[in-house]
């Protein structure tokens, strides 16, 4: 019997998702648990597997369509069946296993996913090709905007003036990889852009009864309207909500980063690995969160929930917008562990390959705007938390020490917090303790 598969909630209260591409076309066979479609949620692109084996009779939408949780995503059956043979909810089918149970109890399911009768939970997985935004087809448009390539590959091509539409991809399904672009660059014969010939102008012959009508030519000065990406819309909604509901206060300070940068350099040299500045900043922040737990909290109505865990969000600048990747239980990890995890999360965020769990649920956030040359700023507190720390770029400046003038790398700090929870005096105490730790790393490395 033909069976409907409805879009499941793949976590964090998902209400809708956008279809990115179908991995199995209508009329093709799909096996149980085989990925059948890529969908984009608010923050991630995930592959969703089919709970049924059979012939794909119908897609629930085309690439680019937005469908709601609980709506039909897929109809699977046998070759001789039609979608009309799927039992409707009004018919009240006796076999509940033929439809996805959209009312399944979360505790019984053991996950935020919908279940199909007694079948195992439907779990979405992150795709290695999370940025592929066109359906699989042999007749892909010959345009750099429609080729299959990750953002980092597109940037490399732009930087070296390589036309991706003329590069043959060696990745899965014809995806263009970084090596493909690099090979074109190294060869010195990378394909040049081919300009489309201009169509012949259409001439109108005026008549006495019909004077010539002036024509307009599009220029670069005209306004252009472009729909924001799903991620950009999500960022906008979250920022609006935070700014509208949280009364922000921002405290600005400068810290002498001499010892911090020396420590970072010594660790990188000793262990021959990259040490992101965020790894040291997180370790310096943890003692301050212990001393002032209201900075690691959530305001829930009239109650303040001070979290036992230290799940630190790390803001990551990606080609698609700002994402916050989460280091779980940061207080249980040393600097080297934090360094490795932060590097991995950053790469995953830029490649859009992180899971929902890795992108949600932070209890405090660190944003290193110094990585893009920033200084002081007014970071917006992520909704559901009470504070965020922004770290700027360290710049050598004159500094007075006990009457003597010297030069030191000065790193700007900006701490924004929820004024409903934290008073100005408490904000000053928090950042004072943080400055002590940053100026002498031994204070937090010893813990």
Three-class SS of residue 192? coil
Neighbours of 273 (CB within 10 A): 12
Contacts 24+ apart (CB under 8 A), 440-444: 440/259, 441/259, 441/260, 441/263, 441/280, 441/284, 443/287, 444/283, 444/284, 444/286, 444/287
Rounded-to-integer distance, Cα 251 and Cα 245, Å:
19
Residue 110, number of CB atoms within 10 A of its CB: 11
b/e 185-213 (16+ beta carbons within 10 angstroms → b): beeeebeeeeeeeeeeeeeeeeeeeeeee
Structure tokens at 234: 């999500």
Biggest CA pair distance of the chain: 93
Instruction: Give the residue numbers marked as catalytic.
Output: 419
What number of H helices and E strands is found in the chain?
Answer: 9, 18
C-alpha distances in Å from residue 216, one per residue of 198, 213, 219, 220: 16, 10, 9, 13
| Ramachandran category for residue 174: left, alpha or beta (phi over 0 → left; psi -120 to 50 → alpha) | left
Distance between CA 363 and CA 326 in Å, rounded? 9
Beta strands 387-391 and 364-368, pairing class: parallel
Tell which residue, 383, 352, 421, 417, has the closest CA to residue 12.
383
Q: Which residues pair with 304 in a beta bridge?
A: 299
Contacts 24+ apart (CB under 8 A), 393-398: 393/369, 394/257, 394/261, 394/370
Query: Which residues, at least 6 apart from 362, have a Cβ–Cβ distance to it below 8 Å?
Result: 311, 312, 313, 324, 326, 382, 385
Whose CA is closest to 123, among 60, 47, 69? 47
């Amino acid at each position: 019997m033909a069976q409907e598969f409805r879009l499941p909630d793949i976590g964090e209260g998902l209400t809708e998702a956008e279809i990115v591409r179908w991995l199995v076309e209508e009329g093709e066979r799909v096996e149980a648990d085989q990925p059948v479609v890529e969908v984009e949620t608010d923050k991630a692109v995930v592959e969703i597997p089919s709970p049924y084996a059979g012939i794909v009779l119908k897609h629930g939408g085309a690439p680019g369509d937005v469908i709601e949780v609980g709506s039909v995503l897929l109809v699977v059956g046998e070759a001789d069946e039609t979608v009309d043979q799927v039992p409707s909810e009004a018919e009240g089918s006796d076999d509940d296993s033929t439809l996805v149970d959209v009312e399944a109890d979360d505790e019984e399911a053991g996950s935020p996913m919908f279940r199909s009768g007694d079948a195992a939970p439907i779990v979405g997985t992150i795709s290695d090709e999370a940025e592929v935004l066109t359906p699989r087809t042999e007749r892909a448009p010959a345009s750099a905007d429609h080729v299959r390539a990750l953002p980092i590959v597109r940037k490399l091509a732009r930087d070296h003036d390589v036309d991706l539409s003329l590069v043959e991809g060696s990745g899965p399904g014809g995806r263009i990889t970084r090596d493909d672009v690099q090979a074109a660059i190294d060869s010195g014969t990378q394909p040049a852009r081919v300009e489309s010939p201009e169509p012949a102008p259409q001439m109108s012959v005026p008549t006495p009864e019909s004077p010539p009508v002036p024509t307009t030519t599009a220029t670069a000065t005209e306004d252009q309207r472009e729909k924001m990406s799903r991620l950009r819309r999500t960022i906008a909604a979250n920022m609006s909500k935070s700014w509208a509901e949280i009364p922000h206060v921002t405290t600005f300070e400068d810290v002498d980063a001499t010892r911090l940068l020396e420590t970072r350099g010594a660790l990188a040299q000793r262990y021959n690995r990259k040490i992101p500045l965020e790894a040291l900043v997180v370790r310096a922040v943890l003692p301050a969160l212990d001393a002032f737990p209201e900075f690691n909290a959530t305001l829930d109505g009239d109650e303040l929930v001070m979290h036992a865990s230290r799940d630190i969000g790390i803001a990551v600048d990606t080609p698609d917008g700002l994402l916050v990747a989460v280091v779980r239980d940061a207080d249980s990890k040393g600097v080297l562990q934090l360094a490795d995890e932060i590097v991995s999360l950053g790469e995953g965020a830029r490649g859009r390959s992180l899971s929902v769990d890795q992108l949600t649920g932070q209890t405090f956030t660190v944003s290193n705007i110094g990585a893009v040359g920033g200084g002081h700023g007014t970071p917006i507190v992520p909704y559901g938390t009470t504070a965020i720390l922004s770290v700027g770029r360290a710049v050598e400046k004159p500094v007075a020490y006990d009457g003597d003038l010297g030069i030191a790398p000065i790193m700007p700090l900006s701490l924004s917090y929820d004024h409903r929870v934290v008073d100005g005096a408490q904000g000053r105490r928090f950042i004072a303790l943080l400055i002590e730790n940053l100026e002498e790393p031994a204070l937090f490395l010893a813990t």
